Amino acid sequence: MKALAKTRPAEGLELIEAPVPEAGPEDVLIKVRRAAICGTDIHIWNWDEWSQKNVPVPMITGHEFSGEIVAIGKDVNRPLKVGQRVSVEGHVIDLNSEAARAGHFHLDPNTRGIGVNRQGAFAGYVAAPAFNVIELPSDVSDDVASMLDPFGNAVHTAQQFDLLGEDVLVTGAGPIGIMAAAVARHAGARTVVLTDINDYRLELAQKVAPGVRTVNTTREDLHDVIHELGMKVGFDVALEMSGSPIAFRQCVDTLIMGGGLALLGIPSKPMETDWGAIILKALTIKGVYGREMFTTWRKMLGLLNAGLDLDPLITHRFDFADYREGFEVMRSGKSGKVILNWEKAA
Percentage of the chain modeled with pLDDT above 70? 100
Closest by Cα among 122, 140, 135, 141 to 65: 122
E strands within 73-198? 85-88, 91-92, 112-113, 125-129, 133-135, 167-171, 191-196
Instruction: Specify whether 43 is catalytic.
Output: yes
- Annotated active-site residue in 7, 43, 104, 295: 43
- Annotated active-site residue in 40, 111, 195, 214: 40
pLDDT the model gives residue 29:
98
pTM for the full model?
A: 0.95
pLDDT the model gives residue 269:
87
CA 55, 59, 64, 68 torsion: positive or negative? negative
CA 62, 205, 267, 43 torsion: positive or negative? positive
Mean pLDDT for all residues in the chain: 97
pLDDT the model gives residue 268:
83
80-129 residue pLDDT tens: 999 999 999 999 999 999 999 999 999 999 999 999 999 999 999 999 99
d(CA 209, CA 216): 16
HSE, side-chain direction, 13 A CA sphere, residue 221: 4
HSE, side-chain direction, 13 A CA sphere, residue 53: 3
164: three-class secondary structure by DSSP: coil
